[in-house]
Amino acid sequence: MTFNQPRRRGGSRNSGPPRGRSEAPRRPPELDPARVAALETLRAVRERDAYANLVLPKLLRERKITGRDAALATELGYGTSRAQGLLDAVLAACADRPLSEVDGRVLDVLRLGAYQLLRTRIPAHAAVASSVDMVRVEAGGGAGGFANAVLRKVSQQDEAAWVEQLAPSAETDPIGNLALRTAHPKWIAQSFADALGGAHGELADALAADDARPGVHLVARPGEISADELAAITGGEPAPYSPYGVHLDSGDPGELEPIRQHLAAVQDEGSQLVAVALSRVPVTGTDERWLDLCAGPGGKANVLGALVAIQGGTLDAVEQAEHRAKLVRQATEGLPVTVHVGDGREPDLPEGAFDRVLVDAPCTGLGALRRRPEARWRRKPEDVGGLTKIQRELLRSAFRLVRPGGVVGYVVCSPHLSETVGIAVDAARRAKFEVVDAREYFPGVPELGEGPYVQLWPHRHGTDAMFCALFRRPEQ
């Protein structure tokens, strides 16, 4: 494609077509379906606060985009969302106006083009040309010229050179430097550093693992199919730590027959481990009535419901939002699970009636950023305070609902100390509950630290950064 069209010969610059003839309109460029799907995903995230990992798979299925095209759309859609802060820093250095003044439709394409230039092997001319075509379709020829100029500047250096130019000094601001290098907001990088404590040397590894695209994790429904059987059917590998987990390199798990038959589900291995840990803690007396206090969308309720079914028990699952309660019902179909629509802080359930209670509390989700690519740029530091209030209230509710001698599991997908150790220590002290050393119930999992809590990490365990605290209510 040429970017500077030659002048038409003959006649003046303002002359029209010969009399009696009409000039054929310029055909719009044919856009690559994979790039269009990625762009529409970015637009949905920007305009509707949508989740990329929900929007893109639906687009691919509806448009029958498969194989290499689906892989390209996934790489571009998720990758661009994940790297947005880094891409914006580079684009801002290349544009002649603040990015806040750039049309949102154009900015989506610029981010998509910059990602191709900096983080893929797509040839620069193809990345620029395809992006300019998209901008012309979206916003006209003038915007296309602007996009062409910006992306050509971006292409003059690779990612490492841009980072070297734009990142804060590694000597004076090491966390800020690592944050830009790994496409994280600085406050999130700082929260990782705080959680790692004396292991600050791991911060670069933790952020890099969090910036990498994860594989697909499946969970075999306990009692109905084994991990080995699921691995054989799907072509995956049994997970290293979860007795029910299977890892796949890639693919659309929704197309797998075991998932369609409710024999398996998509679930990060870390989420499996924390649910299984709660089921392993010994209790005296009855062990037949379990409770998932914040059950939506139903992944952990599926595991717990299957485990309690094996021993003839039942699971109550509470979810405040009706649409998420519907997802819990779907996830636990065929299991002895009763779904209640209500607030877990004040559920209409008998106090002291449950042998085991799981609090999978709403949180910042900083531990699952690699699976929710846009979340790191959507979350704000001020979100933490409101969430910790809810977390405390949910845990107090769980402490009322569990029977004497029963156990409570507190779980969040975050390493932020305010949501993890801060909540656990304060809750146990106020309720005078025994803190159970959770490490014992993660057998075979290395590098669990000094306890009594467990913090999983992508760079150590290949899981989301799940936190687990276990408590026992005193007998009297």
Q: Give the residue numbers annotated as catalytic, written as ranges.
A: 413
| Helix or strand run (H / E) with residue 161 | helix 159-166
| Kind of pairing between the strands at 402-412 and 289-292 | unpaired
How far is CA 454 from its chain centroid?
20
Tokens of 36: 């269009």
| Helix or strand run (H / E) with residue 254 | none
With a CB cutoff of 8 Å and minimum separation 6, the contacts of 212 are 370, 458
Cα dist. 19→11, 16, 25 in Å? 13, 8, 16
Cα dist. 228→51, 127, 237 in Å? 32, 42, 8
Tokens of 227: 């991990």
Nearest by Cα to 396 from 358, 345, 361, 350? 345
Q: Give the chain's length.
A: 476
Cα angle: 289, vertex 442, 448; to 5 degrees: 135
- Amino acid 439 reads R
With a CB cutoff of 8 Å and minimum separation 6, the contacts of 181 are 163, 167, 207
- Burial string for 64-85 (b: 16+ CB within 10 Å, else e) reads ebeeebbebbbbbbbbbbbbbb
Contact 154, 91 (CB under 8 A): yes
CA–CA dist 62, 65 (Å, integer): 8
Report the C-alpha dihedral over residues 336, 339, 340, 346, rounded to 10 degrees: 80
CA–CA dist 168, 190 (Å, integer): 14
Q: Convert 47-88 into a string of H (helix), E (strand) and C (coil).
A: HHCCCHHHHHHHHHHHCCCCHHHHHHHHHHHHHHHHCHHHHH
Report the C-alpha dihedral over residues 387, 389, 393, 395, rounded to 10 degrees: 60
| Kind of pairing between the strands at 264-266 and 245-248 | unpaired
